[in-house]
Amino acid sequence: MKQPYRLPLRRNSADVIISGQAFEHIPFFWVSLLELARILRPGGYLFLTVPSCGHVHDVYDCWRYYPDCIRALSAFSGLALIEARTDFPPAVAGRRHLDYRQVGHSMSYWGDTVGVFRKPPGRRSIAMMAARGTLRWWANRVGDLDEAAPVGAKRQASPAVLSASTLP
């Protein structure tokens, strides 16, 4: 997309938005969230599913999310938070256990966080409109992470996967 942080949809045009397993690949996801809030109509719902843990699985794999992040996204975007929940690893002998040595392994435990938001009725915030416009301009200007690579480093064609032998 020429402008990946600008969706070609009118403001207040969507009743429901579902985003599943995308935000971890978006370098500046908070800008995308503001775009989703812009196109969501008052009273509309946003359902967001994002990983809480799991192996690196794409060229850009930037983020993992927990309920506090979903709460922060609600505060930042002005969307009302209906629910935030993470499916943490199963409990073994009453304790949740995740073998962090296996996190980079392609068959390791995968967890998700779900956020459900509702756009409240009311007037548009001039401050948020200005912030959204500025952030969207900046993110579209940066585009992706190619410019952030260390000098002389080549970007990998496929993601680096941690092996258990590289973890402490």
- Cα separations (Å) of 13 from 116, 132, 135? 18, 17, 21
Residues 78-130 pLDDT 10s: 999 999 998 876 666 666 555 555 555 555 667 889 999 999 997 667 777 88
CATH of domain 14-90+100-144: 3.40.50.150
Q: Please say if the pLDDT value at position 54 is more than 70.
A: yes
State the average pLDDT for the chain: 79
pLDDT at residue 91, as a whole number: 61
Q: How many H helices and E strands in the chain?
A: 3, 6
Strand 14-20 vs strand 40-53: parallel, antiparallel, or unpaired? parallel
Within a 13 Å sphere around the CA of 150, how many CA atoms are in the beta-carbon half?
2
Which residues in 87-120 are b (16+ Cβ under 10 Å) and which e? eeeeeeeeeeeeeeebbbeeebbebbbbbbbbbe
- What percentage of the chain reaches a pLDDT higher than 70? 73
Domains of the chain by residue range: 14-90+100-144
Which of 48-62, 103-117, 130-144 has the lowest average pLDDT?
103-117
pLDDT at residue 18, as a whole number: 97
Which of 27-36, 106-115, 122-131, 156-165 has the lowest average pLDDT?
156-165
